Amino acid sequence: MIRIAFVAALLAAPAYASETKEESCKYQGQVMAAVQQARLDRVKQEEVEQVILDSEPEWPEAFSNAIPQLAGHVYAMKRRDLKGVDLGAAFEEQCLQNWDQIQAMQQQLQSN
């Protein structure tokens, strides 16, 4: 899950300039929760991004960049394993816990 958090965080990098740590991690958790719900609702993986975007999510647009990567991770899981677990909350918590590492990776990527 941490690897996925880093990927999503790096993809949403443009949004971080104006978001606080708490806001950014909240939005990332919301994206993960939306992908999880789409999987539980039996949305086809190739349609998940458009279905989520059509729902007009409330997170800043840049965070939507992570949907395809998160979908790949979530759709690799069995639906039964997604029931009764809150991936959005877990994702948000991991983001908060790994914030400094995420920021360091972004700095390193921007300097290359």
Tens of pLDDT along 52-98?
999 999 999 889 988 998 998 899 999 999 999 999 999 899 888 88
User: Mean of the pLDDT values across residues 31-56?
Assistant: 97
Cα gap 78→29, rounded to integer Å: 20
Residue with tokens 């999503």: 8
Cα gap 15→46, rounded to integer Å: 25
For residue 26, give the nearest of 91, 74, 70, 71 by alpha carbon. Answer: 91
- Token pair, residue 47, equals 């349609």
- Asked if residue 6 has pLDDT above 60, the reply is no
Q: Which amino acid is at 32?
A: M
Identify the sign of the CA torsion 17, 18, 24, 28: negative
User: Mean of the pLDDT values across residues 13-22?
Assistant: 67
Helical (H) or strand (E) element with 26: helix 21-40
